[in-house]
Amino acid sequence: MRIAVLGGDGFVGWPTCLHLSDLGHEVHIIDNLSRRWIDVELGVQSLTPMDSIQERCRIWYEVTGRKLHFHLLDIAKEYERLRGWLVEHRPDAIVHFAEQRAAPYSMKSDRHKVYTVNNNVNATHNLLAALVETGIDAHLVHLGTMGVYGYSSVGAAIPEGYLNVGVETMDGRVAQQEILYPTRPGSVYHMTKSLDQILFQFYAQNDGLRITDLHQGIVWGTHTEQTRRHVQLINRFDYDGDYGTVLNRFLIQAAIGYPLTVHGTGGQTRAFIHIKDSVRCIELALADAPAAGQRVKIFNQMTETHRVRDLAEMIATRAGAKVAYLPNPRKEAAENDLVVRNEQFLALGLKPTTLAEGLLDEIVDVARKYEHRIDRKRVPAVSAWTRELGQLVETDPERKRLRSVS
Of the candidates 108, 113, 193, 276, the residue annotated as catalytic is 193
223 binds ligand NAD (CB under 6 A): no
9 binds ligand NAD (CB under 6 A): yes
Whether residue 145 lies in the annotated active site: yes
Coil, strand, or helix at residue 168?
A: strand
Candidates 98, 127, 188, 260; binder of ligand NAD (CB under 6 A) is 98
> Which own/partner pairs from 373-376 qualify as long-range (CB within 8 Å, at least 24 positions apart)?
373/45, 373/47, 373/48, 373/49, 374/47, 374/239, 374/252, 374/256, 375/43, 375/44, 376/256, 376/258, 376/406
Binding partner of residue 11 among ligand NAD, ligand USQ, none, CB cut-off 5 to 8 Å per kind: ligand NAD
**DSSP codes of every residue in 299-326:** EEE-SEEEEHHHHHHHHHHHHT--EEEE
Q: Determine the Cα–Cα distance for residues 333 and 405; give it in Å rounded to an integer.
A: 30
Q: Cβ(218)–Cβ(355) under 8 Å? A: no
**Contact stretch for ligand NAD (CB under 6 A) within 73-81, 170-178, 202-210, 357-365:** 73-81
Binding partner of residue 262 among ligand USQ, ligand NAD, none, CB cut-off 5 to 8 Å per kind: ligand USQ
Binding partner of residue 269 among ligand NAD, ligand USQ, none, CB cut-off 5 to 8 Å per kind: none
State in angstroms the smallest separation of the CB of 244 from ligand USQ. Answer: 7
Catalog residues that contact ligand USQ under the rule CB under 6 A.
101-103, 145-147, 217-218, 245-246, 249, 261-263, 266, 268, 270-271, 308, 328, 330, 332, 381
* Exposure letters 59-76 (e unless 16+ CB within 10 A, then b): bbeeebebebebbebbbb
300 binds ligand NAD (CB under 6 A): no
**Contact stretch for ligand NAD (CB under 6 A) within 5-13, 162-170, 282-290, 313-321:** 5-13
Strands (E), 126-240: 139-145, 162-168, 174-180, 211-216, 218-220
Number of separate helices (H) and strands (E) present in the chain? 14, 14
216 binds ligand NAD (CB under 6 A): yes
13 binds ligand NAD (CB under 6 A): yes
Q: Cβ(79)–Cβ(275) under 8 Å? A: no
State in angstroms the smallest separation of the CB of 39 from ligand NAD. Answer: 10
Write the burial class of residue 24 (CB in 10 Å: 0-12 exposed, 13-18 middle, 19+ buried): exposed
**Based on CB atoms, which residue is closest to ligand USQ, 102 or 321?**
102
State in angstroms the smallest separation of the CB of 282 from ligand NAD. Answer: 10
Residue nearest to ligand NAD (CB): 10
Q: Determine the Cα–Cα distance for residues 125 and 137; give it in Å rounded to an integer.
A: 16
State in angstroms the smallest separation of the CB of 150 from ligand NAD. Answer: 15
Angle at 291 between CA 135 and CA 175, to 5 degrees: 115
**Based on CB atoms, which residue is closest to ligand USQ, 130 or 158?**
158
**DSSP codes of every residue in 190-201:** HHHHHHHHHHHH
Site string for ligand NAD, 114-143 (x = CB under 6 A): -----x---x-------------------x
Q: Which residues bind ligand NAD (CB under 6 A)?
A: 7, 9-13, 31-35, 74-76, 97-99, 101, 119, 123, 143, 145, 216, 218-219, 245
Active site residues: 145, 189, 193
